[in-house]
Amino acid sequence: MDLRPGSRWKSAVCDAQLVVVRPPSSAGELQCGGVAVVPIDDMKAPTGAIDPAFADGVVIGKRYVDEASGLEVLGAKAGAGSLAFNGVAMAIKGAKPLPASD
């Protein structure tokens, strides 16, 4: 799986679509709903069941990160499955605090 910055992926089990913002520092598998994602140009419709452990959903416009590898992806289309990298759930990236204005 070549997770280059700007590459687009979609879930194999729900409607979620993703864009890689920052690639991982190590090789691994990006998953949605417990199943590996597929390239955006894959013409197959989403099929199969979402793993209940990965059913929190993807929110459009939110960034998801895997702290261990540095992988960062952007939700381009919402879906029912949640994201994981090598089986470890990814977290929504928090907003950067703004500098204090004195």
In a domain, 16, yes or no: yes
The pTM for the full model equals: 0.87
Spell 84-98 as b/e; 16+ CB within 10 A means b: bbeeeebeeeeeeee
Q: Which residue has the tokens 């759930």?
A: 89
Q: Is residue 83 part of a domain?
A: yes
On whether residue 2 sits in a domain, the answer given is no
Give a yes or no: residue 26 inside a domain: yes
Q: What tens-digit pLDDT sequence spans the chain (102 residues)? A: 789 999 999 999 999 999 999 999 999 999 999 999 999 998 888 888 899 999 999 999 999 999 999 999 999 999 999 999 999 999 999 877 888 876
Residue 56 lies in a domain: yes
Tell me, yes or no, whether 98 lies in a domain.
no
> Is 100 part of a structural domain of the chain?
no
Domain boundaries, position 37:
8-92
Domain-embedded: residue 29:
yes
